[in-house]
Structure 1
């Protein structure tokens, strides 16, 4: 290969791109915009690992759970007390901390310059905006503190995070780890690395591969914008003496020029998008612009790979085009596309994934190279098979309406161009279907039932020590949106004041509340019950036998243990002679109590502090913000009181984070799909400007031409989505077999992914109609 000749021809192509007048500049701009959009998303993707790492570092640096169980820390010059008072608000989580400084050398929370005084708070910028808005009225009632400071970026994980620190002067009296703890520094202690989950690692790898593959396809398609006009110019170069290889290199130079300009535009798009990302929140995740810094090595790889891909793609696509001095041989009947080598790609992909089938979690980590290679080959197989499918189908399409005939004839003449524009959608949908199947197949492994019965209660309120349960129940009864209140106070009874040998649980509540946790024969205030039927209770019968005679046996409520901070004197409780029998039943959270049930009248005088309670609430769903009213009531009684909504399922946090990452990435890819398709559609319409004007001049209705454009898009898109469904289902099946899950097709998910792809195409078609109508004007026939 003559490097000097290659350089000269490529440079000539660059000059043609920028020195070919308005036509050359427009063609280069179209290519640059398409490539720029792809480059911007590639840079964004290379910046995601850095953003996630910074978010994790910020979260670790402000962590305040550094206490050690069983070894309470004593107050000192470096200590402070901190309480977790996180709260939800209309679907968003607010990170709240109440903090009390004990020593002069106590560290300041990250993002602050000092401790907020009692009655004051420091808030994040996003929380301040919410509090100042009309939507924050209920939240302002919940946070009755004066805002005196703003948390800086170093103390937040994202620009839209809702967080605050509130000052206090009496937290030390309420220390109860993990909710309220005394510590002397921020930041999580170093812990041994946990063993990674092979399935979660596989999910992360697949998300990156599936999201990046459509971007590569779009970039490859963008460098071929204006292909037909370019080939006619190359024929003119042949007429003045250039040989076939030379004109191909010149064409590659033109494509490289558009790609280089696309790199510049892509960097600009990325910088603008990075600033926009600082004001956006997607699926509860936000970042600061400074987080999105691409890896220098990956950015350099993108800068080299995109122009190189432009040259290689152009040389590859022109290999079968005969460029002669008098024109480009495209009018002759083309040779049918070969199928055999196109089938080799997905077959090779399946062969790469086959050794890992049945491996599951017990087989160790999945081979990341085989996984990446196999998935890439399957998705590339979509781009290879789609042109053959479109050509084979449109060749057999027959007569119909005028719009149908115009569309079919156009597709028969340039099926490759139509397939090229749809390839990105097909690849994205195929990958999304496979991932949807995999997520649905393994979801049960990372989701567990909570046991909560939402037909009996929808919220619960944990009552802290020192707060009387009846007071909370009374306040909740008068809260807007609350239909029913069930309050239970739980404690412990032992056979000794300190270090008892045997213990049993004690639950206190009204007759109506006790019926929610046990089946009672009859009940009135002052009754006491012994509960049967709890699988977790094996001590009650033994405790009664040890306690002594059947009458007058004595137990101690809230006994103390060596090493704890319980310095109070346990309350003596004399078990009544007439104990009633009760059968245990599950409470609204699925827990079956044992031990003793006491009505308030049976509790010894002064023993109310020996039990701590929970209040279950039935909420009227017709009342808007009923949950918020409940939380406000709880905080008004005691800022440390936790009220939360009950759920049927709980999902693993890491699994949920990966799925959130998929949704965020898919949203960005879908945006790129729409923008790239629109650019390609406009380029195609512009190339056919004279043809459209001629058809209008001959009397063709604009409606007919608009429908023909719709059919030209709909036919290849429909074929592409059908092929994507087949490949996606195949890949999803293989992935499920790899992780050892039962193969189950999530048809709603498959239809949803396919529908998203179709919706994007429909939106692009509608946006291209105004330019189409302008191109149909008769003055489009004017020439110079």
Structure 2
């Protein structure tokens, strides 16, 4: 039976070869995209794991000598720079990944990108921030991305004791902060589930191509003596052969896509090409699962043949779908609503509820699609008297499952696109800032300092400096001298006769008169420094020279010297990364759904070529048949698309409320453009198949086989 099945597949005439080629191409595209998505998510996970050592703290324990440790953030011309300062207390102090030994005092390791940047930048702008000399480059296992700027700086234990936030650790950290990891995995998990569903539907649609004509041929074999088991084997071989070949080509397509995928900043930065990889489990599941799923799908479509060979010709109207099909959709949205105010604390718990909720909604869209299609078709039939509309609506109402199957991939793509763009645009609208228009102002926050370094005033490009000192009694009150305020009138002004004023450093504004302090200028100078402000000419070189001078002069700074633009740039870059993720979702899901729609429409035409031929022979105009096909595709598409878009907006809102405590913002023009283009392309796909009716419904197609 296996040899006979292969013969039917490979030597069954032009129609069989065309069907085989289409199934192979569809499976190859679906498998290639599926593998690329899984590999991309694996790359993000690897990136996340490679940054774990930078989050070392006292929670990691070991048996070696303690190691002084402090991780601090830094910036350089709009880019993030991460720095870890260390000092060994003995020969058995733990060593971070990427190096074979700890740097000694006056030594430091840098990432390849930072090494190149230091070499091409004046020392006063960057290199002078790191004391001593470079002794090596951090390996790939310590740097998440080729573009990352990371430094590992050696110090003495005495120097480390004076650094704010420094602590002794006995082991290097192996996990990122729970909040960052949980949000990242939850969002990526939603993206993965959202992308996998349309691709799997596409593969399934391809393997079901021309199922009705195959049923007729297998029924003829039953009538001449073939057993149900033999028919099942032949069908499984036919589908598995095409799927195996398509899967092999899909792995080749994945290898071609690895390079472009590595360039996509899914979460924070591009990946190393080697990180875009599959695990052994991924490979086995796809290599074995796709052919098995294709064979199972083929056997399911032939269930009538196995029951009775006459079941193919004696067709009856299937039972109409019931309203209970909408239950998974309601249950999924209810689960997401339950998480608002009850978000699980653990990463695994968050992943379970969010992925579970989104998966239930997607299953609900697929399950309720036939019922919604039937409802829409019956409503259309009651309000129309045109022949084409009545034929289409009656057929949709009689078999809404078959009609919805062709558009199910696009419906899911619209849902995924709505969720992705809704979440991203809301996060951007909630937290993106335009940046302080006064980008020439740089601040550093301090603890324990008493005197400002005189070198900052001499840096070329620095126009003025100002000190913030702690007010008596602590709290959030900050002091500033009127001499400094007079040199920077854009920050406000002092009342007449005052020497020192109380200010809010985060709210400095022109024209405001700050309340006077009882302290004299001499008493102000003895108070601890809490911050230092530098006013530059705004040039990038002056800003970086001032930043370097502040870091050298205040080695124990609590927060890095930065402008408002620096502080917002990190979030803006994160949003740009998530925007790329949303673009990937749109660019993958909509074309795949369009292909699935094309396969479904063509498959439907192939299955009904004889009925349509008989209608033409009986005098039905070809234009009427074309309108029938158009109605049968557009009614379920538009009906369920409205539900998918509404469900996507609601799911995005519930996720934002639960995970980030923000509300959904109205999507921008980009979203409506994407949805409009997606629906427009889908209708164009349907229209492009209509010319096939003339060829498929000729007189020769009306004969009995």
What is the TM-score normalised by the length of structure 2? Answer: 0.67
Q: Does 1:748 align with 2:667?
A: yes
Contact 1:458 / 1:618 at 8 angstroms: preserved in 2?
A: yes
- Give the alignment partner of residue 721 of structure 1, picking from 627, 641, 655: 641
Pair 1:529-2:504 in alignment:
no
Partner of 2:269: 285
User: Corresponding residue for 1:386?
Assistant: 369
Shift of 1:733: 7.2
Q: Which residue of 2 aligns with 1:34?
A: 26
Q: What residue in structure 2 maps to residue 219 of structure 1?
A: 203
- The change in CA–CA distance for 1:235 and 1:763 in structure 2 (over 3 A counts) is same
Report the Cα distance in structure 2 between the residues aligned to 1:638 and 1:738, rounded to whole angstroms. Answer: 40
Instruction: Please give the secondary structure, in 1, of the residue aligned with 2:667.
Output: helix
Residue 460 of structure 1 pairs with residue 442 of structure 2 = yes
Deviation at 1:253, TM superposition (A): 3.5
What secondary structure sits across from 1:158 in the alignment?
Answer: coil
Contact 1:425–1:720 at 8 Å: present in 2 too?
no
Partner SS for 1:312: helix
Match of residue 615 from structure 1: 533
Is residue 634 from structure 1 mapped to residue 634 from structure 2 by the alignment?
A: no
2:588 is aligned, of 671, 675, 698, to 671
Task: Flag structure 2 segments of 5+ consecutive residues without an equivalent.
Answer: 60-64, 447-451, 554-559, 616-621
2:143–2:150 contact (8 Å) kept in structure 1? no
Cα shift at 1:468: 4.3
Aligned to 2:598: 681
Separation (CA, whole Å) in 1 of partners of 2:287 and 2:169: 48
- CA displacement 1:687-739 (0-9 Å, x = unmatched): 86998xx99xxxxxx99999999877655432232121344456567768988
CA drift at 1:368: 7.2
Question: 1:644 aligned to 562, 565, 573, which one?
Answer: 562
Residue in structure 1 matched with residue 75 of structure 2 by the alignment? 87
Contact 2:322 2:371 in 1 (8 A): yes
Q: Residue deviations 1:59-91, cap 9 Å, x none?
A: 234x397799xxxxxxxx99999996832445x
Deviation for aligned residue 1:148: 11
* 8 Å CA contact retained: 2:362, 2:412: yes
Deviations 1:493-513 (A, max 9, x none): 999xxxx9xx99564643435
Contact persistence 2:492–2:513 (CA under 8 A): no
Matched with 2:468 is: 490
- Retained in 2: the 8 A contact 1:447–1:652? no
| Distance (whole Å) between structure 1 residues aligned to residue 526 and residue 47 of structure 2 | 45
- Provide the rounded CA distance (Å) in 2 between the counterparts of 1:513 and 1:174: 35
CA shift, 1:762, in A, is 3.9
| 1:383 shift after superposition | 1.4
CA distance in 2: counterparts of 1:267 and 1:148, whole angstroms: 42
* 1:510 aligned residue (471, 484, 487): 484
Question: Partners of 1:682 and 1:217 in 2: how far apart?
Answer: 11
- Alpha-carbon RMSD: 6.7
Deviations 1:461-520 (A, max 9, x none): 439952445445x7244xxxxxxxx6312346999xxxx9xx995646434357666652
Query: Which stretch shows the higher mean deviation, 682-691 or 724-733?
Result: 682-691
Q: Kindly indicate whether the alpha-carbon contact (under 8 Å) linking 1:421 and 1:677 is maintained by their aligned counterparts in 2.
A: no
Higher share of residues assigned helix: 2
- Contact kept, 8 Å, 1:630 with 1:643, in 2: the verdict is no
Contact 1:386 1:423 in 2 (8 A): yes
2:51 match: secondary structure: helix
How far residue 110 of structure 1 moved from its aligned partner, in angstroms, is 5.5
Give the SS at the match of 1:265: helix
Length, aligned pairs only:
666
What SS is found at the alignment partner of 2:495?
Answer: coil
**Equivalent position SS for 1:490:** strand
Q: Matches of 2:623 and 2:534 in 1, distance apart? A: 63
Shift of 1:431: 4.9
- Measured after TM superposition, the shift of residue 31 of structure 1 is 2.2
Q: Which moved more, 1:111-120 or 1:47-56?
A: 111-120
Residues 419 and 716 of structure 1 are in contact (CA less than 8 Å); yes or no, is this contact kept in structure 2?
Answer: yes
Deviation at 1:227, TM superposition (A): 3.2
Match of 2:51 among 59, 67, 85: 59
Change in 2 beyond 3 A, CA 1:734/1:275: closer
- Distance in 2 (CA, whole Å) between partners of 1:196 and 1:166 is 22
What is the alpha-carbon distance in structure 1 between the residues aligned to residue 534 and residue 323 of structure 2?
Answer: 66
Alignment of 1:430-445 (within 5 A): 430-431=415-416, 433=418
Q: Distance in 2 between matches of 1:491 and 1:348?
A: 56
Q: Which residue in the other structure is 2:292 paired with?
A: 308
Partner SS for 1:93: strand
| Structure 1 contact 280–286 (Cα < 8 Å) conserved | yes
Give the deviation of 1:674 after TM superposition: 0.8
Within 5 Å, give how 1:96-175 maps onto structure 2.
111=98, 124=112, 142=125, 152-159=139-146, 161-163=147-149
Written as runs of structure 1 = structure 2, the 5 A alignment for 1:685-704 is none
Q: CA deviation at 1:433?
A: 4.4
2:158 is equivalent to residue 177 of structure 1? no
Q: Is the 8 A contact 2:24 2:245 kept in 1?
A: yes
The alpha carbon displacement at 1:671 in A equals: 1.1
Structure index of larger Rg? 1
Report the Cα distance in structure 2 between the residues aligned to 1:288 and 1:78, rounded to whole angstroms.
Answer: 33
**Structure-2 change in CA distance of 1:227 and 1:665 (3 Å):** farther
CA–CA separation in structure 2 for the residues paired with 1:24 and 1:530: 90
Q: Distance in 1 between matches of 2:302 and 2:513?
A: 71
**Which residue of 508, 512, 519 corresponds with 1:587?**
508
